[in-house]
């Protein structure tokens, strides 16, 4: 065993490992929200000056979170708004599925087959909110959206990898305890290498560092890892003496990819505990906006032409096969850029050219109705199990413990190739795959699953992607151009944030556009005075 | 599964109403608001394609002649939609596309391509596709003039690598595949497409190209 402890990890290697744990875009995004953008973290939302009698009309294209945010703020300041939405529903990528809902996936339409019960819902789009997403949380607070804790990391869930432990699932608790034990031992035994760090490192530091390593790994007095009750007991422990579990060997642990990936998932800035989610489904936020809004939201209105006018915009849309045109002073548009690129317009060529270079993100989520909450029999309440198979994750509901049934997340992958594979299947094949792969994590999984939904975001009507994919290069050359208005047209949505894939980006993009409108209105009024 | 799905459809009437797509609006989501194509989705210009060709391609997708290859993600997208449509719905979709008003497409120039070389290569294309890329219904050859150059490149590559024209009962596809295979490399494809791009839009369905 000591072989593995011979050469201490250099700091550079450590940083490299850490960087690998999050994708580079995740790191880029984290930098954005932690203050590298010009919007301060705790910015109060834009407060638009009331129009006081002036008439201003705003057309909002797309009833996504950014469109709803814009409508809410504008309406309060006296602007008259209309939202045009192409699909049959409000909320865009905030999609909570319940009994009877229509899932409009191109080629794979479904009606949600869950039983009709308040606890049986599935967040097929947005699902969690970290505490530093102060923009979306501002609306949760002011619009009265009740929040619950959401868990990304539960020690009682499993990790499963065909390459390790004969493919058997292992409790995250056990894997992490052993891995930390070995790391602690390595740290303690190579602690003198601390003197090679850039900072000064004295005797006292060394002593404290060794204490840290001991606590980190739960080592014995000889700084050796011999197992820990952190891994849970093999037997006893309450009314009879506890028997510790035998640690797994480091080479065995290393055969699993858990230690180079998913084990660090909850370290990612936006995924770290404590997370929150609205009670009853993410669409509670959408409903809360709708309770306040008097702005009409017209469904089944597919925008087909965007014309910039010298003083405003003219928007044409198709409704039941007929074309209608409306004019307005401003237009705020959260239609996904890859779709705007196919809409006739006189938007500047360089502006549209950037939209055409944005990638279409691919994500698949599968939701499964279980007739029994079998995971509770395995001491699992909320959290995520990880597997190296295509399904990647199983999520257990964070709510409604001990109810008769529950909705599991049966697959969720960020790998585009995996999502392509799910997209190529029929809905029945997707469910069969989810069940077959889930069976490696929970034996008899299939016997509990009654029905399910599958959502491939790159195929969802009026979305055709889970979110905009900016390359670092394109972000440098194109982001500011696309963020700036073209005439009186503003492109908004999480696509116009450094945080695509998060509602926070959608909210902030709307605020950004509104601040600009506010400035223009002030200038207009000023010029007249 | 289809039966189960139907039962759910009948049970839920609002969902049923939602799932009805009047006038095949799906087409315009990918292919653009005037069916003029959308490079971001890699969806071709349908406005220049005659009814018979559109129908033929719906059938090609349903027959697995297109969209079959494992990594042809774009082909699979269209195939998934075609598979849900019956003949009447296909006719309805084509009629809907025909009702779209014409749209101007900006000219795109590929400066790295050799148009003269492309003209030579096009000699073998014109027997079927016409001297001006106007297409030929008798020979089941679609018009090419007015189609997006990136789409022509993509499809020539697809024929070449066997994503299209690779199945024994797809005789037109097989013929096209032979010609695509005779194009030596990506440069040859770029050259011939640049030449097609330079053809004047004589075909009646071609909209203005500025
Ligand atoms: C699988 C998944 C998981 C996610 N997880 C999280 C999470 O945990 N936490 C989080 O905060 N965020 C998450 N997100 C991201 C979050 O859902 C988005 O950031 C947010 O919902 C985007 O809002 P938006 O305003 O940009 O517009 P969108 O929601 O993209 O709305 C765009 C709207 O435009 C409409 N539209 C399209 N074409 C037209 C047209 N031609 N005419 C009119 N309307 C049109 C669409 O129908 C849609 O309603 C997730 C997203 C996905 C897909």
Q: How do residues A136-153 score in pLDDT, each as one tens digit?
A: 999 999 999 999 999 999
pLDDT at A411 over 90: yes
Helix axes B51-62, B87-98, angle to 10 degrees: 140
A484-525: pLDDT as tens digits: 999 999 999 999 999 889 999 999 999 999 999 999 999 887
Other CB atoms within 10 A of residue A280 CB? 17
pLDDT value, residue B13: 54
Percentage of chain A modeled with pLDDT above 70: 90
Of A106, A111, A304, the CB nearest to B80: A106
pLDDT value, residue B24: 57
Q: Is the CB of A361 under 6 A from ligand 1?
A: no
Q: Which atom of ligand 1 sits closest to the CA of residue A365?
A: 1
Query: How far is Cα A79 from Cα A72, in angstroms, rounded to an integer?
Result: 10
Residues of A in contact with B37 (CB under 8 A): 342
Query: How far is Cα A127 from Cα A106, in angstroms, rounded to an integer?
Result: 23
Record: contact A302-B79, CB cut-off 8 A: no
For the entire predicted model, the pTM comes to 0.91
Residues of B in contact with A454 (CB under 8 A): none
Of A113, A341, A423, the CB nearest to B38: A341
A430 touches B: beta carbon within 8 Å? no
What is the B99 CA–ligand 1 centroid distance (Å)? 30
pLDDT at A89 over 60: yes
Grade residue B18 by pLDDT with cuts at 50, 70 and 90: low
What is the A314 CA–ligand 1 centroid distance (Å)? 24
Give the residue, out of A503, A508, A511, with the most ligand 1 atoms within 8 A of its beta carbon, to mutate for a pocket test: A503
Residues of B in contact with A302 (CB under 8 A): 25, 28-29, 33
User: First-to-last CA distance in chain A?
Assistant: 81
pLDDT value, residue A7: 36
Question: Are the C-beta atoms of A316 and A96 separated by less than 8 Å?
Answer: no
Name the residue with higher pLDDT: A2 or B44.
B44
Of B23, B40, B77, the CB nearest to A106: B77
Q: To which residue do tokens 């096009």 refer?
A: B122
A38-87: pLDDT as tens digits: 444 455 678 899 998 899 999 999 999 999 999 999 999 999 999 999 99
Question: Are the C-beta atoms of B83 and B61 separated by less than 8 Å?
Answer: yes
Q: Is the CB of A503 under 6 A from ligand 1?
A: yes
Of B8, B22, B83, the CB nearest to A320: B22
Record: contact A111-B5, CB cut-off 8 A: yes
pLDDT value, residue A8: 36
List the beta bridge partners of residue B43.
B38
Query: Which chain A residue shows the shortest CA-CA distance from B85?
Result: A107
Q: Where are the beta strands (DSSP E) in chain B?
A: none
Q: Is the CB of A278 under 6 A from ligand 1?
A: no
Percentage of chain A modeled with pLDDT above 90: 85
Question: Are the C-beta atoms of A91 and A347 separated by less than 8 Å?
Answer: no
Record: contact B81-A107, CB cut-off 8 A: yes
Best of B3, B11, B14, B15 to disrupt the A interface (most A CBs within 10 Å) is B15
Query: Which chain B residue shows the shortest CA-CA distance from A99?
Result: B12
Query: Which chain A residue shows the shortest CA-CA distance from B16?
Result: A102
Query: Which chain B residue shows the shortest CA-CA distance from A115?
Result: B8
A100 touches B: beta carbon within 8 Å? yes
A346 touches B: beta carbon within 8 Å? no
Question: Are the C-beta atoms of A114 and A121 separated by less than 8 Å?
Answer: yes
Record: contact A342-B36, CB cut-off 8 A: yes
Record: contact A111-B12, CB cut-off 8 A: yes
Q: To which residue do tokens 């049970």 refer?
A: B11
pLDDT value, residue A525: 76
pLDDT at B62 over 90: yes
Average pLDDT over every residue of A463-475: 95
pLDDT at A120 over 90: yes
Q: Which atom of ligand 1 sits closest to the CA of residue A495?
A: 26
pLDDT value, residue A286: 98
Best of B18, B32, B100 to disrupt the A interface (most A CBs within 10 Å) is B18
pLDDT at B61 over 60: yes
pLDDT at A371 over 80: yes
Average pLDDT over every residue of A441-451: 97
Of B12, B33, B81, the CB nearest to A304: B33
Record: contact B33-A461, CB cut-off 8 A: no
pLDDT value, residue A198: 67
Structure tokens at B201: 């839009």
pLDDT at A266 over 70: yes
pLDDT at B142 over 50: yes
Average pLDDT over every residue of B139-155: 95
Q: Pick from B116, B204, B113, B120: which is nearest to B152 by CA? A: B113
pLDDT at A434 over 60: yes
Give the residue, out of A126, A273, A306, A317, with the most ligand 1 atoms within 8 A of its beta carbon, to mutate for a pocket test: A126
CA distance B120 to chain A (A): 32
B158-206: pLDDT as tens digits: 999 999 999 999 999 999 999 999 999 999 999 999 999 998 765 444 4
Query: How far is Cα A246 from Cα A233, in angstroms, rounded to an integer?
Result: 9
- Rounded to 5°, the CA angle A87-A127-A361 comes to 60
Grade residue B8 by pLDDT with cuts at 50, 70 and 90: very low
pLDDT at A19 over 50: no
- Rounded to 5°, the CA angle B107-B113-B119 comes to 90
B106 touches A: beta carbon within 8 Å? yes
- Residues with Cβ within 8 Å of residue A269, at least 6 apart in sequence: A26, A29, A30, A33, A34, A130, A132
pLDDT at A468 over 80: yes
Q: Which atom of ligand 1 sits closest to the CA of residue A335?
A: 34
B25 touches A: beta carbon within 8 Å? yes
What is the A149 CA–ligand 1 centroid distance (Å)? 22
Q: Give the 3-state secondary structure of residue B199.
A: coil
pLDDT value, residue A16: 37
Q: Where are the beta strands (DSSP E) in A375-518?
A: 383-387, 393-396, 406-413, 449-456, 468-469, 489-491
Average pLDDT over every residue of A423-428: 97
What is the A455 CA–ligand 1 centroid distance (Å)? 14
ipTM above 0.85, yes or no: yes
pLDDT value, residue A210: 94
For A138, phi and psi rounded to 5 degrees? -55, -45
A364 touches B: beta carbon within 8 Å? no
Q: What rounded mean pLDDT belongs to chain A?
A: 91
Structure tokens at A239: 């009314």
Query: How far is Cα A513 from Cα A70, in angstroms, rounded to an integer?
Result: 9
Q: Pick from B30, B35, B39: which is nearest to B81 by CA? A: B30
A184-202: pLDDT as tens digits: 999 999 887 666 666 777 8
Q: Which atom of ligand 1 sits closest to the CA of residue A63?
A: 49
Ordered DSSP codes for A338-360 = HHHTTSEE---HHHHHHHHHSEE
Q: Give the 3-state secondary structure of residue A485.
A: coil
CA distance B81 to chain A (A): 4
CA distance A440 to chain B (A): 25
Q: Is the CB of A128 under 6 A from ligand 1?
A: yes
pLDDT value, residue A44: 60
pLDDT value, residue A528: 56
Question: Are the C-beta atoms of A143 and A150 separated by less than 8 Å?
Answer: no
B80-137: pLDDT as tens digits: 999 999 999 999 999 988 888 777 776 666 778 999 999 999 999 999 999 999 999 9
B38 touches A: beta carbon within 8 Å? yes
């Amino acid at each position: 065993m000591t072989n593995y402890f011979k050469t201490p990890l250099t700091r550079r290697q450590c940083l490299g490992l850490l960087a690998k744990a999050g994708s580079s875009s995740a790191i880029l995004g984290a930098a954005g929200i932690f203050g590298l953008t010009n919007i301060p973290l705790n910015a109060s939302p834009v407060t638009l000056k009331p129009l006081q009698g002036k008439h201003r009309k705003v057309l909002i294209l797309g009833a996504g979170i950014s469109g709803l945010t814009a409508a809410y703020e504008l309406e309060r300041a006296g602007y008259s708004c209309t939202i045009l939405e192409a699909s049959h529903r409000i909320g865009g990528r905030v999609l909570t599925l319940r009994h009877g809902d229509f899932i409009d996936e191109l080629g794979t339409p479904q009606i949600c087959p869950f039983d009709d019960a308040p606890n049986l819902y599935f967040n097929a789009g947005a699902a969690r909110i970290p505490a530093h997403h102060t923009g979306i949380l501002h609306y949760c607070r002011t619009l009265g959206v009740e929040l619950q804790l959401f868990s990304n990391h539960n020690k009682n869930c499993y990790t499963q990898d065909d390459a390790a432990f004969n493919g058997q699932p292992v409790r995250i608790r056990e894997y992490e305890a052993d891995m930390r034990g070995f790391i602690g031992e390595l740290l303690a035994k190579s602690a003198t290498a601390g003197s090679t760090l850039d900072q000064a490192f004295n005797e006292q530091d060394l002593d404290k560092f060794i204490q840290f390593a001991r606590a980190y790994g739960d080592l014995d007095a000889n700084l050796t890892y011999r197992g820990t009750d952190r891994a849970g007991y093999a037997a006893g422990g309450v009314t009879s003496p506890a028997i510790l579990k035998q640690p797994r060997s480091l080479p065995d642990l290393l055969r699993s990819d858990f230690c180079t990936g998913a084990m660090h998932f909850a370290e990612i800035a936006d995924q770290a505990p404590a997370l929150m989610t609205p009670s009853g489904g993410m669409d509670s936020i959408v409903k809360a906006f709708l309770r306040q809004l008097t702005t009409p939201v017209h469904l089944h209105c597919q925008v087909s032409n965007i014309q910039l006018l010298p003083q405003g915009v003219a928007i044409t849309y198709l409704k039941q096969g007929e074309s209608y045109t409306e004019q307005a002073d401003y237009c705020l548009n959260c239609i996904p850029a890859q779709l705007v690129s196919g809409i006739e317009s006189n938007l500047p060529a360089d502006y549209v050219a950037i939209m055409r270079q944005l990638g279409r993100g691919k994500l698949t989520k599968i939701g499964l109705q279980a007739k029994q909450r079998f995971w509770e029999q395995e001491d699992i309440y909320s959290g995520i199990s990880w597997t190296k198979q295509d399904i990647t994750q199983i999520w257990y509901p964070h709510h409604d413990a001990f109810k008769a049934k529950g909705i599991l997340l049966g697959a969720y992958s960020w790998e585009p190739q995996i999502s392509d594979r799910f997209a190529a299947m029929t809905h029945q094949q997707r469910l069969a795959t989810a069940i077959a792969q889930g069976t490696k994590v929970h034996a008899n999984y299939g016997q509990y699953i009654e029905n399910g939904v599958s959502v491939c975001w790159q195929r969802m009507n009026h979305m055709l992607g889970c979110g905009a994919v900016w390359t670092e290069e394109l972000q440098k050359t194109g982001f500011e151009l696309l963020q700036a208005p073209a005439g009186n047209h503003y492109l908004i949505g999480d696509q116009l944030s450094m945080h695509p894939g998060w509602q926070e980006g959608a909210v902030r993009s709307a605020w950004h556009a509104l601040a600009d409108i506010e400035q223009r209105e002030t200038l207009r009024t000023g010029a007249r005075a | 599964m289809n039966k189960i799905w139907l039962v759910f459809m009948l049970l839920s009437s609002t969902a049923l109403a939602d799932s009805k797509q009047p006038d095949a609006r799906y087409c315009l989501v990918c292919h653009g608001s005037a069916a003029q194509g959308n490079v971001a989705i890699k969806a071709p210009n349908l406005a220049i394609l005659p009814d018979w060709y559109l129908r033929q391609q719906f059938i090609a997708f349903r027959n697995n002649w297109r969209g079959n290859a494992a990594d042809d993600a774009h082909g699979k997208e269209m195939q998934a939609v075609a598979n849900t449509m019956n003949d009447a719905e296909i006719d309805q979709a084509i009629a809907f596309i025909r009702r779209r008003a014409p749209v101007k497409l900006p000219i795109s120039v590929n400066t790295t391509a050799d148009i003269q070389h492309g003209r030579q290569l096009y000699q073998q294309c014109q027997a079927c596709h016409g001297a001006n890329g106007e297409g030929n219904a008798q020979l089941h050859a679609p018009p090419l003039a007015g189609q997006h150059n990136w789409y022509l490149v993509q499809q020539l590559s697809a024929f070449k690598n066997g994503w299209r024209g690779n199945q024994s009962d797809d005789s037109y596809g097989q013929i096209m595949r032979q010609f695509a295979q005779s194009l030596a490399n990506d440069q040859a494809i770029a050259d011939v497409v640049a030449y097609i791009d330079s053809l004047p839009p004589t075909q009646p369905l071609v909209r203005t190209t500025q």
